[in-house]
């Protein structure tokens, strides 16, 4: 079993070329025997980068670790 770690700012349900490209690439690795894991932003539900549709689903077999954006932290928002 081969493992690969990817780091991407955008992943579905976020929209954008990067989200589509990275999710399709990682999804294509699964049938080839790879176990992909991606670290990405945890988008705010209903926020400006949120896409609520069936095509926004992540491919089967891709593990996702979502990280909250520092921009959503209260202390950071207060500083701005």
Q: pLDDT tens across 21-69, in order? A: 999 999 999 999 999 999 998 877 666 666 665 556 788 999 999 998 7
For residues 23 and 12, what is the distance between their CA atoms, to the nearest angstrom? 7
- Phi/psi region, residue 76 (left: phi>0; alpha: psi -120 to 50; beta: rest), is alpha
Single pTM value for the model: 0.74
Per-residue b/e over 32-51, b at no fewer than 16 CB within 10 Å?
Answer: eeeebebebbebeeeeeeee
């Amino acid at each position: 079993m081969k493992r690969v770690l990817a780091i991407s700012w955008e992943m579905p349900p976020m929209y954008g070329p990067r989200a589509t490209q990275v999710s399709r690439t990682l999804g294509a690795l699964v049938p080839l025997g790879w176990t992909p894991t991606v670290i990405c932003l945890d988008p705010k539900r209903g926020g400006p980068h949120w896409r609520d549709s069936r095509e926004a689903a992540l491919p089967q077999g891709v593990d996702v670790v979502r990280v909250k954006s520092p921009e959503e932290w209260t202390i950071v928002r207060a500083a701005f």
